[in-house]
Structure 1
Amino acid sequence: MSLPSSDFRNIRHWIHNCDRLHTDCPPTPNQYRQPHEIPSWVLDLRNGCIVPGSTASRYVALSYVWSTIESEKLTLELWTGNLRQFQKSGFLDGMKQGFLPEVISDAIDLVKQLGERYLWVDRLCIVQDGRMKRSEIENMDNIYSGAYFTIIAAASPGLYVNLDRRHRAPMGVSFFHRYLYDKLLKSKWATRGWTFQEQVLSRRSIIFVNGDVFWDCRNSLWSHENPGPRKEAGEGYDTYSQKQIDNHEMAVTVPSTAFADFRLYRELVCLYSGRDLTYAQDVLSAFMGIINELSHTFPGGFVGGLPVLFLDAALLWQPFSKGKRRVWTQGRSEDADMPKTNLPSWSWCGWHAVVDPESLHVRSLEWLRPQMRTKPIVTWSVLSEDLRLERKLPESRILENYCRRFLDWGDWDTPPGWSRHDIRYPPPRNSTWTYCDTRSPKLDPNLFYTFTHISDPSKLFCHPIPMVNPGRKPTAHPQNWPYLHCEATTGCFKIQSILSRKSSAQVKREESRISSLHVPFTSLDKFHGGPEGEELCRVVSLTDADGQPAGLLRIMDDDTEIRPGQEIELMAISLGSMGWDETFSSYEERVDLLKSADYPRMEHSFVRDPPSDDEDGTGSETAPLTFRPRRAAAVETAHSRAARPWGRKGEHYRFYNVLWIERRGGIAYRKAAGRVAREVWERNCGEKLSVILG
């Protein structure tokens, strides 16, 4: 099977146009890169062998899925024992037939036809049993971002599957591009963990998905329906060359911003966290290229996949749907000398679950969360596998210091690179900006104050945030240290009731509602439509020792041992506050109060075990009450039936962010996360004690 001539002409045309029109797409040539940024080996297709990456002027990279069926065959891989053979001229030409997966053979042929000489393929360019394999894996950000372009093989088993499109009905360009990405998202390639960073880090890609091939770079998306501009540079540029997809998973790139972009981090984590890995212990390695890239702008670096600067907020992550623990997978020889410590329960990387984007917010960045605030109350440190080494994480307190410093307006000068903008209060009716309340009693009380950074004036902040010193190396914490340590208060509470999704009780909404919502990446089907009914997370309501309402938890897995009346231990990790409306629209509160989980395309009803006194088991249980503004009267009626620790409309809810912990061998493991009302917690908690989270 070969590539149709029309597709081959298009590919050459796309490469040529991107080279001449997009100055920010082509990578830095190898001769101008640092030695550690270049792969150790690349395939020299002219001589049929591997050569040091430093000898190649540029190279093409391949992103594909390792087939479990092929792994049982005698496939060619680079090992210490055959390293010398691989370097002999003509070796690969003689071994290619029958010893390489079809996708690699197709990629070799394509690169040759395009006139390129060098190709990087992981199984042929990384010594699979070599001592440098770990460093090569951690260098993925440089390998893929430095490639001339990347071939993404989302087709199976080879690149050229069903590329005959003569009988396909024509469709509009914008619709067709969405169709392409939908196909890509449904491919096996898009479910695998390793392929995520390979696409995200690539500056430009040729994507093969069953029946189609298209070009995706930082500026344009071209396909056979829209092959791109035909004019020379400076003579015009067709508007359809620019990306027409607002919200698509595979078009994410890591831009070069000068500040720590928590919103970008949130998007990347939510899109990656639910992906599959053959070996669970690879979950951070397969994300390490992205972490390396982000570390250049995140003061304090990362621990367990969480940014230290935003650690208190990042620890509040919640699953979007039911998950399960990622447990160390046995059977791989290179893992023999590594400690078999399970992945941290406190981080998303320790769970196979899609992270709920609504659970990750930082007030300093999220203008759509004007009344939400998280304040640190503990000092964190990270511990080694044997618990003998400890490293403090002082950067986790810096953000709160900035919050206090710059929200007390008029006392401090704006840091270099930042600008303050004064906006008259109230904002104009036709304004498209949403402001947090940054009016100052010390200055004009009728002014809002917003901040922007010179690197991206379009992004608004409530206050400046810490920056990485330009000449300083990124902070590198050991990512495999699985323990967090702090001094925290704990308390015992009882499970009052458990709310589970009611079997077969769901209402599907009209599809037309989707287009009315313009939400970043969350408009993807897996977020926009909500989880499958049986995958909805359960909610636990808590009481204190006196039987008074205390708070709510979101259960992360399908544990059948959880029961009403069970006494559990909680630890407080931060203080929080938010407005009544924000509290009432959260997943846990909707489920607890209305017994309904409401998504743009689906709503589900829940049943309480055991039923509360005001539930008759009929009407309130069978007719889900959906939380919308027009249901305000019904909401108030429901609210009046039970005392809520978060107060009534117009009030602020002040609470402690808590983790349900289970202790085993002196180590505490996260079981669930949620909130307990501040006054309830302070009435029931004990003295601070040392807690090690594993």
Structure 2
Amino acid sequence: MAEINAPSEQRLNLCNGCKEVDAALDLYYEHHRNGAIDDWQKLKYTLGTLDELSHTCACCLDIAASLPAFNDPYSPVNKFRLVIDDTDIMLKYKVPRNMRGGLETDYLFLLPTEPKSETLEHATPFDPAYFDLKLVQRWVERCETLHGEACCPAKKVPLPGLDSILLIDVVDWCVVSAPPEARYVALSYCWGQTAAARALKHNISVLKTPGAISPSTTSFKIPRTIADAMTFTIEIGERYLWVDSLCIIQDDYNTKQLHLDSMAFIYANSYFTLVAAEGPNADHGLRGVGASKRDLPIHKIRLPSGSLVLNKPRAGFRLDSIWNSRGWTLQESLFSRRLILFDGFVSWVCCEGEWSEDTDRELDLQGSSSFLLTDRVGLYGRLPLWPDLQVWGSLVSQFNKRDLTFDKDVIDAFAGIETAGRPSFPGGFLLGMPQFFFDIAMLWQPERRLIRRINGRSNHLPSWSWVGWKGEIETQLWGASSALPYNERYPLPEITIEPLVQWKALKSPDYPEHHAIPNSYAVHRSKAAPYAGWTEHQNNRATHYTHDKVPDQYFRYPVPLLEDSHTPSPAKDLCFLSLTAMRSCFKIGGILEDRFAEQERFGRDPFAFNVSILDAANRAVGALRLNLEYVNEAPIGEECELITISAGTARIGEGQHSYLWKRDEWALKQWHDSVSRGEGTPVLVEGSEEEESGGDEWEDVEEDETYNFFNVLWIERSGGTCYRKALGRMIQGAWVCSELTDIVLG
């Protein structure tokens, strides 16, 4: 980096605005040096648009030159602003909300190029062309010293069915067999469409020959990323590297499946995981290592109080990296305990800290509650012992919006996460759906329009499971309806689900054998006597339970805790569901406005929207979430065939999950008024002038009343098989037909 001592103000020729900023920074540094930062009041300076910046002020010219660092196209209305709060200096490029598109951030940190105070972070010199590998040893030693077992557990995670694994020996340049407890670095990268050497049955003996994959002599095609990873491993003093393409025999399908199922554990057991977060394929390389030279920009802003450099805010890996968009890499990032990330700059992320090569900041997060459970690495050691549907829903939601080159890989790409979660969920999973809570797991919704996944193999990806769809899904009801964790503030469950059908899984619609899905949460919830290890607690509000294994966690009812870990999940080719359900026909009503408020708030791609369900008297009796983006596509007036899949009860009033009945209050009010006036009395339907002008409050309903509803599927038929078209809810009292029908869902 360039000189540390800043030139004088006269030589810099600052404009009046930048002089004011410089004076504020001088005062800011003084506050930090004197320990008076608690008295600091945040300052904000609007510097103007790109066209408004001075063409003679050195600081303005430096700010204008930093625009590419924001990765946002120039707009004449966007303004630069500088913010100085108690711990950070930030340069913002303010973009109007309706113009943001996929912009992840509109600010960058400004770091002094020299130490100003022990309480202020500052930039550190780095080589724009090559990464200093000595930093790795510093990070490893710091992590092992400060974090101990949290990041470096002494006991390895067992690999189900695998007595040994293959590793690349970077000293003898060959593939070797090693016990699972061997110390190795794991590589996480994007394959892309790169032609590369793979371990196969016919060449594995050659790959095990010393020197077989030496970069200088090998006849195998070793992609640059893997070659750089081998160079990295040997130069930091480690011997073994795990890379999927060379450490899994790709055409030994039984062994390959065992590895796919154990993928989360392979990464959890690594000494650390080396992440190639840049580039679309395996030929991109680890820029800054070996022959892969990098060219990092340095954006400096000169001021008399001291020069500043731009520093991108990093909480681990970049959200916009190709690596972070891939479905396969989710388990690799979540289950690894420690990551070294190459994403332009090189940084370290572990269970308890985040450090980067371009700053002195060594941020430790011990005890921090600012991250969700599934937002951090080292997830295996932090998974709940009980079947936590809220955590599972977060994992599914993160995975399903990621990209896969081939739709057929969706089950295998998620297999490692399933294996890690299986001990907590009795009965495991059926195509990503927890069997223990199967009724509730059926209640996923499209957040935005989903794309149907097509499987080229003989067994298809079903419409009833989220694995059959690609995109953002909503799983709010998974956590809200499980009624399992006990909340002292809300001791009574606000939402409960009751099974209405017995689910059976089949390989094909006419297959004679079936797998009965346990769906046993309701059985455990209804048992009066606790299971072994459980203690019942009663107070004047509600009964709850504790277990010896997790004494600080309260439950509303006892469930198995890690007692079913050896029970395998059902076969992955059980793609059809057989059930007997109540069936009736209704009509699609008007478009509801509830989702558009959220759309306005988040301002990104269009949300999937809700429409009302109308009965024969044109009364609004419920709602369906359509898998559509645009309201002009809504099939208003179309008949819809609905089946009931579960019954629900929501307590009316204020509470943690009060949003559910509030979403449907419009229908409840209309239904309540209709019934109170007599069946068949005309009532308001959405879109009418009376309703839009507002009406009386729904004063007759008390807060201790309940909203009873059916969860319903809109199905469409094709060749004797039914498919999910939409999911919704409707008022139980509005269901007048009790016709039972046998359904096969594909």
Given the two structures, how large is their TM-score scaled by the length of structure 2? 0.69
- The 5-angstrom pairing of residues 264-663 of structure 1 reads 264-328=391-455, 330=456, 338-339=457-458, 341-361=459-479, 362-365=482-485, 367=487, 370-385=493-508, 387-393=510-516, 395-396=518-519, 398-406=520-528, 412=529, 414-423=530-539, 446-469=540-563, 473-499=566-592, 530=602, 532=604, 534-558=605-629, 562-581=634-653, 582=657, 589=664, 612-614=687-689, 637=696, 651-663=705-717
Alignment of 1:142-181 (within 5 A): 142-156=265-279, 157-160=284-287, 179-181=313-315
2:41 equivalent in structure 1 = none
SS at match of 1:360: helix
Q: Deviations over 1:469-524 (max 9, x none)?
A: 37x61332112311111111111111122347999x9996xxxxxxxxxxxxxxxx
Rounded Cα–Cα distance in structure 2 between residues aligned with 1:389 and 1:135: 29
Aligned counterparts of 1:464 and 1:188: Cα–Cα separation in 2? 43
**Aligned letter for 2:709?**
F
User: What are the residue-to-residue correspondences of 1:33-44 with 2, within 5 Å?
Assistant: 36-37=161-162, 40-44=165-169
Q: Deviations over 1:117-141 (max 9, x none)?
A: 1111112222333333333322213
| Matching residue's letter, 1:549 | A
Mark the CA change 1:33 to 1:271 in structure 2 (over 3 Å): closer, same or farther: closer
CA shift in 2, pair 1:590/1:109, >3 Å: farther
The 1:36/1:265 distance shift into structure 2, 3 A limit, reads same
Whole-Å separation in 1 of the counterparts to 2:722 and 2:639: 16
Which residue in the other structure is 1:525 paired with? none
C-alpha deviation, 1:654, in angstroms: 0.2
In structure 1, what is the Cα distance between the partners aligned to 2:189 and 2:662?
37
CA distance in 1: counterparts of 2:624 and 2:498, whole angstroms: 19
3-state SS in 1 of match to 2:473: coil
| AA in 2 matched with 1:614 | E
C-alpha distance in 2, partners of 1:421/1:224? 52
The change in CA–CA distance for 1:284 and 1:324 in structure 2 (over 3 A counts) is: same
CA distance in 2, matches of 1:57, 1:304: 32
1:138–1:289: 8 Å Cα contact kept in structure 2?
yes
* 1:670 counterpart = 2:742: no
Whether the 8 Å contact between 2:352 and 2:365 is mirrored in structure 1 is: no
The CA deviation at 1:220 is 3.0
The answer to whether the 8 A contact 1:277-1:283 is kept is yes
CA–CA distance in 1 between the matches of 2:301 and 2:698? 54
1:62: which partner in 2?
A: 187
Q: Distance in 2 between matches of 1:530 and 1:586?
A: 22
Q: Secondary structure of 1:465's match? A: coil
CA contact (8 A) 2:325 2:403 kept: yes
Q: Which segment is superposed worse, 248-257 or 564-573?
A: 248-257
Query: Which residue of 94, 109, 118 maps to 2:240?
Result: 118
> CA separation of 1:34/1:612 partners in 2, compared to 1, >3 Å: closer, same or farther?
closer
Q: Distance in 2 between matches of 1:491 and 1:342?
A: 28
- Whichever residue aligns with residue 461 of structure 1, its letter is F
Q: Which has the larger radius of gyration?
A: 2
1:87 and 2:162 are equivalent in the alignment: no
Unmatched tracts of structure 1, length 5 or more: 171-175, 230-237, 331-337, 407-411, 424-445, 509-528, 595-609, 621-633, 641-645
Map 1:159-308 → 2, pairs under 5 A: 159-160=286-287, 179-181=313-315, 184-216=318-350, 218-224=351-357, 245-247=370-372, 250-252=375-377, 253-254=379-380, 255-308=382-435
SS at match of 1:551: strand
Number of corresponding residues: 576
Contact in 2 for aligned 1:584/1:590 (Cα 8 Å) = no
Query: 2: distance between equivalents of 1:589 and 1:403?
Result: 27
Q: Conserved in 1, the CA contact under 8 Å of 2:316 and 2:347? A: no
CA shift, 1:18, in A, is: 3.3
CA distance in 2, matches of 1:671, 1:104: 44
Work out the CA distance in 2 between the residues paired with 1:2 and 1:373.
58
Per-residue CA distance 1:62-93 (angstroms, 9 max, x = gap): 1111234xx2xx43333344333322221211
Separation in 2, partners of 1:356, 1:481: 24
Deviation at 1:549, TM superposition (A): 2.4
Aligned to 1:12: 137
CA shift digits 1:192-244 (9 cap, x unpaired): 1000011122222222222231232x333333477798xxxxxxxx9666657
Following superposition, the deviation at residue 455 of structure 1 comes to 3.3
- Whether 1:102 and 2:229 are equivalent positions in the alignment is no
* Bigger relative contact order (CA 8 A; separation at least 6): 1
Aligned: 1:689 with 2:741? yes
Aligned partner letter, 1:302:
F
Note the residue ranges of structure 2 that are not aligned, 5 or more in a row. Answer: 1-125, 289-293, 303-309, 670-684
Q: 1:580 touches 1:651 (CA, 8 Å); kept in 2?
A: yes
Q: Report Cα offsets for 1:364-404 as digits up to 9, x if no partner.
A: 237468311101111111111464253443531x3212222
Q: Match for 1:613: what amino acid?
A: S
The 3-state SS of whatever aligns with 1:185 is coil
Secondary structure (helix, strand or coil) at the match of 2:138 reads helix
447-456 or 259-268: which moved more?
Answer: 447-456
Match for residue 53 of structure 2? none
Shift of 1:459: 3.1
Moved more, 541-550 or 264-273: 541-550
Query: CA 1:258–1:205 in structure 2 vs 1: closer, same or farther (change >3 Å)?
Result: same
2:638 maps to amino acid: Q
8 Å Cα contact 2:649/2:706 also seen in 1: yes
What SS does the aligned partner of 2:545 have?
A: strand
CA distance in 2: counterparts of 1:462 and 1:502, whole angstroms = 32
Cα distance change of structure 1 residues 662 and 35 upon mapping to structure 2, 3 Å threshold: closer
TM-score by length of 1: 0.74
The percent of aligned pairs where both chains have the same amino acid is 29
Question: Which secondary structure state, in structure 2, belongs to the residue aligned with residue 15 of structure 1?
Answer: helix
Matched AA of 1:118:
Y
For 1:101 and 1:679, locate their aligned partners in 2 and report how far apart those are by CA, in whole Å: 64
Specify the alignment match of 1:130 in structure 2: 252
How far apart are 1:588 and its partner, in Å? 5.2
